[in-house]
A and B are shown apart, each in its own frame.
Chain A
Amino acid sequence: MKRGLKWDTILRSKLFWAVVAEFLILLVGFIIRPDFLNIQIRTLEDGTRVLFGTPIDILNRSSEITIIAMGMTLVIALGGTDISVGALVAVSGAIALKFLRWDVLEYTTPGDYSVMPFVYVLVVPLVVCTLMGLFNGTLVARLKIQPIIATLILMVAGRGIAQIVTDGKQFTTQYAPFKFIGNGSILGIPLPIIITFVVVAAMVVFVRKTSYGMFVEAVGINPNASRVSGIRSAVIIMIAYVLTGLLSGISGLIYSSRIISNDSNNAGLGYEMDAILAVVLGGTSMTGGKFTLVGTVVGSIIIRTITTLVFYFGIVSEAIMAFKALIIAGVIVLQSEPVRRAIARRREKRHINLGGELHA
């Protein structure tokens, strides 16, 4: 009986189904292309050895979304959403490239250098994005504005700001330290994976080793009771949005480093959607409350795996959305309350039947 109950909790857990879904998708990939799961070490022209293979690529390319989704998980657990993250990615890239630009008019040779100390290139975008997160947080926590609209403001205005920063131009850079962020590797592991790992680890530690996570859940479940219990929910909410802003900035640096350019129109386009999906696929409910950061990582990887898989079908990149939609729809239906309840009930019935048979 005890074992049966445990199985029921596992079957009811959304995270479990997310992991199952990921394995199924990987299995499909493996059946189509047996080399889908291969990982090998390749030596690049400059002699560095890097891990290579689809799983590595999936992890690498999911970095931007995973990082943002860490913050998004908290925001969603608090019953909110932040749809400005994509625009913040564009802002972050625009500022970084603004500082890194080589400008044909000012400099005679296209230089591999930064016009600003490199630390500014890293810090200023992050500070600006953090402040934008603070703006979102203030609207939501202090002025009690619905999160979707509050963040809609920066979603709309953010790309405009990014364009103003770069005067509507697209810069490119060859500055090696900057290129390294998105394209380099340490001990054969692509740097974005390492950054993501560090961010996820830091977030998990922050959330679970302090009581921040419990407060987020408390506020997400019952804001009134939390307030009466002495939790300063405004501060809790504010931190979640500020963190999301900061993480969007980090994600923007990785993205712009990958493409060694800024693109105010397309950088981070649709990231808010992907990040929210990652959170929901991972098992955190859109209505707030309990959350799981690890689940979100799984969710983000699912999204990337689907994309990668669809590439293997040789389908045009824009059409990937359709497949993403179908698979996501499948997962969402599986995770939805009525369906999970139905599955749980069927198991219960079977238990009873089995019990009956044993007695007979």
Chain B
Amino acid sequence: MSGVILEMKGIDMAFPGVQALDGVDFSLRAGEVHALLGENGAGKSTLIKCLTGVHRMDAGTIFLEGKKILPNSPQEAQHLGISTVYQEINLCPNLTVAENIFIGRQPMRRGQIDWKTINRRSQELMRLMGVDIDVTLPLTTFSIAVQQMASIARAVDINARVLILDEPTSSLDEHEVARLFEVMRDLKARGLGIVFITHFLNQVYQIADRITVLRNGRLVGEYMADEINKLELVTHMIGKDMNVIYDLKKAPQEEGAPVVLEASNLGIPGKVEEISLHVKKGELLGFAGLLGSGRTETAEMLFGVVKPSKGSVSMNGEKLVASSPLDSIRRKMAFCPEDRKRDGIVAELSVRENIGLAVQALRGFMHPMKPQEQQKLADRFIRLLSIQTPDAEKKVGELSGGNQQKVILARWMATQPDLLILDEPTRGIDVGAKAEIQRLMLEMCIGGMGIIFISSELDEIIRCANRIIVMRDLEKAAELDGEDCQQADILAIIANEETEEAMAE
């Protein structure tokens, strides 16, 4: 194994009220993929931001190839050879792919930007990544995966010695992940040190050589990937007894329970092919499938966030006409969207206001809830869902991800819906909160609510769902009974199309 390229020692970093990093050590060798793992709030992002000069650490030293460095800005870090590719695409949507790869370091000819060289070399770089596109088109013309490749192309081309990939796979499908891994192996072979941050443990085992685990701002340990098994790893990450988490019972199903939600031939050309489904009272319908398989789009159509161009939805036998969120709420439907920050919380409003939001929207603003009523509602759900907050007046944006998710859940439970759609409610929150949310979901089912539960994690769905719909390539591929369903069955269905495709090619 080659020598250490990057060494961070005793890194301390405090934010008002939180010790985000407490004496963390981290080292990276040339030609290795080093996974950085931890729950949300463990300090991964903070550590990376200290390294790239976004934050200034309070104490500690960083050595790059033996030399002490102290980057003050991402620019400086980049000059030193530390490049970062973030989870959200950090490129400029209004510029072309080529320009995004070269901006800030454009080749010049006779004092002018040499556009020809930029376009030619970008095309080459993207081909190396296995992407053959017209790089002179604006970035927004392309899928997230292509955009991600462009940002990696950019990062690598800046003669990076250290490449940081911050959750690069969270919005990629399986193919794209595979392609990304190929690129990573190639870069590794060229002697780059790669820091890989992810929530997907399987991917860690596929690509990582070493693993560093952080918890609550402290270093838990550094392990060789082939010397530690998954269960140990998870235990290190959460530091909790796993049994608590896996003790779940599905909601019992009654024969002849009434149908709550019925959708027929719902679709938008190019987004989701015609889909029909129903949910019964007290039933938990799982939605499995890869990201981009049409799961979220289906949920959004059901709830009226996007208008379906064909088909119909009815709640409790009544047809939904207006196809707007408000209309759906009136018919006792509720929807926890996938992107909590973007579509869920109203960060600067208090917990109390956030919880009351949907109920209030239902009533209309001219019929406000009384302050005591709001207070009571908020207090009830804070207790019921054990939301960890000093009081109901705390801004939601200041809570942790899991608690934010609970606030949104409370917002919808407060409307006393007959049907609740949960789109990835457990994503990006720590394992403890995850289990609590799963339990809550099942309790609501037992209470008679119908639930549609969308998740990328198959075992989670298998554990909770009474019935499972598998989505593939924008359409419903199969409907399975949740009681005797194996992970392998679902995987086979998801993979089915892909093998056919491979044969066709």
A interface residues (Cβ-Cβ under 8 A, vs B): 209-212, 214-215, 217-218, 221-222, 224-232, 236, 289-290, 348
Contact A221:B325 (CB < 8 A) given known A214-B353, A228-B305, A229-B357: no
Question: Which residues from chain A contact B329 at a C-beta distance below 8 Å?
Answer: 230
Q: Across the interface, do A230 and B362 meet the contact criterion of CB distance under 8 Å?
A: yes
User: A287 to nearest B CB, angstroms?
Assistant: 11
Please pick, from B325, B365, B366, the residue contacting A229 in the complex, using a CB distance under 8 A: B325
B346/A211 in contact, CB under 8 A: no
* Cβ-neighbour of A222 out of B305, B346, B358 (below 8 A): B346
User: In the complex, A231→B346 CA distance in Å?
Assistant: 12
Does B344 sit within 8 A of A, measured CB to CB? yes
The 8 closest A-B pairs by CB, nearest first: A230-B361, A211-B365, A230-B326, A211-B368, A230-B329, A212-B365, A224-B343, A229-B357
Residues of B within 8 A of A214 (CB): 349, 353, 357, 360, 365
Which partner residue on chain A sits nearest B358 by CB separation? Answer: A229
Most chain A CB within a 10 A radius of its CB, from B16, B325, B329:
B325
Chain B residues with CB below 8 A from A211, complex form: 360, 363, 365, 368-369
Query: Which of B326, B328, B335, B345 contacts A232 (CB under 8 A)?
Result: B326
Q: How far is the CB of B334 from chain A (nearest CB, A)?
A: 9
* Extra inter-chain contacts (16) besides given A224-B342, A230-B358, CB under 8 Å: A209-B368, A210-B368, A211-B369, A212-B366, A215-B361, A215-B365, A218-B346, A221-B347, A222-B347, A225-B343, A226-B346, A230-B328, A231-B326, A231-B357, A232-B324, A289-B348
A221: chain B residues within 8 A (beta carbon): 346-349
Contacts of B348 in A (CB 8 A): 217, 221, 289-290
Chosen A-B contacts, 9 in total, with CB atoms closer than 8 Å, are A211-B365, A214-B353, A217-B349, A222-B346, A229-B325, A230-B325, A231-B357, A232-B361, A236-B365
Q: Taking the nearest CB of chain A, how far is it from the CB of B297, in angstroms?
A: 14
Instruction: For A230, list chain B residues within 8 Å (CB).
Output: 325-326, 328-329, 358, 361-362
Question: Is B402 at the interface (CB under 8 A from chain A)?
Answer: no
> Does chain A have a CB within 8 A of B472?
no
Distance between Cα atoms of A227 and B307 in the complex (Å) = 13
B225 to chain A, nearest CB (A): 39
In the complex, A231→B363 CA distance in Å?
10
B357 near A210 with CB under 8 A, answer: no
Residue of B nearest to A236 (CB): B365
Residue B280 is within 8 A (CB to CB) of chain A in the complex: no
**CA A152 – CA B326 in complex, angstroms?**
32
Question: Quick check: A229 and B411 within 8 Å, CB to CB?
Answer: yes
Taking the complex as formed, is B425 at the interface, i.e. its CB lies under 8 A from any CB of chain A? no
Chain B residues with Cβ under 8 A from A210's Cβ? 365-368
Residue among A209, A212, A229, A290 with the most chain B CB within 10 A? A229
Bound complex: CA A40 to CA B329 (Å): 59
Chain A residues contacting B361 (CB-CB under 8 Å) are: 215, 229-232
Smallest distance from the beta carbon of A12 to chain B beta carbons, Å?
12
Chain A residue numbers with a CB within 8 Å of B38 are none
Q: How far is the CB of A321 from chain B (nearest CB, A)?
A: 34
Report the interface size class on chain B: 20 to 34
Is the Cβ of A228 less than 8 Å from the Cβ of B325?
Answer: yes
Instruction: Say yes or no: is B337 at the interface (Cβ < 8 Å to chain A).
Output: yes
Task: Provide the residues of chain A in CB contact with B349, threshold 8 Å.
Answer: 214, 217-218, 221
Query: Residue of B at shortest CB range from A222?
Result: B346
| Complexed CA–CA distance, A210 and B361 (Å) | 12
**Nearest A-chain residue to B345, judged by Cβ:** A225
Cα-based distance from A22 to B342 in the complex (angstroms)? 38
Chain A residues, Cβ within 8 Å of B305: 227-228
Distance to closest chain B CB from A75 (angstroms) = 17
Partner of B345, one of A222, A231, A289, A348: A222
**Which residues on the B side are within 8 Å of A289 (C-beta)?**
348
**Complex Cα gap A233–B366 (Å):** 15
Residue of A at shortest CB range from B415?
A230
- A228 in contact with B337 given A217-B349, A218-B346, A222-B346 (CB within 8 Å): yes
Rounded to whole angstroms, the CA-CA distance of A209 and B365 in the bound complex is 9
Residue of chain A at shortest CB distance from B344: A225
Complex-state Cα separation, A217 to B397, whole angstroms: 14
Q: Which of A212, A228, A231 contacts B343 (CB 8 A)?
A: A228
Taken together as a complex, chains A and B put the C-alpha atoms of A209 and B367 apart, in Å, by 9
The residues of A that contact B335 with a CB separation of less than 8 Å are 228
Task: State how many angstroms separate the Cβ of B302 from the closest Cβ of chain A.
Answer: 13
Chain A residues whose C-beta falls within 8 Å of the C-beta of B362 in the assembled complex: 230
Please state if A228 and B344 are interface contacts (CB–CB under 8 Å): yes
User: Which A residues are in CB contact (< 8 Å) with B337?
Assistant: 228
Complexed CA–CA distance, A59 and B379 (Å): 43
Interface centre among A211, A222, A348 (most CB of B within 10 A): A211
Q: What separation, in Å, do the CA atoms of A217 and B349 have in the docked complex?
A: 8
Tell me the minimal C-beta distance from A11 to chain B in angstroms: 14
Q: Which of B273-325 contact A (CB under 8 A)?
A: 303, 305, 324-325
Q: How far is the CB of B256 from chain A (nearest CB, A)?
A: 32
B360 touches A225 (CB 8 A): no
Which residues of chain B are near A215, meaning CB under 8 Å? 360-361, 365
Q: A residues within 8 A CB of B325?
A: 227-230
* Chain A residues in 8 Å Cβ range of B326: 230-232
Closest Cβ of chain A: how far from B200's Cβ, in Å? 26
A218–B361 CA distance with the chains assembled, in angstroms: 11
- Provide the bound-state CA to CA distance between A130 and B367, in Å: 24
A35 to B328, CA, bound (A): 64
> Knowing A211-B360, A214-B360, A230-B361 touch, does A225 contact B346 (C-beta < 8 A)?
yes
Most buried by A among B326, B346, B349: B346
Nearest CB of chain B from residue A337's CB, rounded to whole Å: 14
Q: What chain A residues lie within 8 Å of B357 (beta carbons)?
A: 214, 218, 226, 229, 231
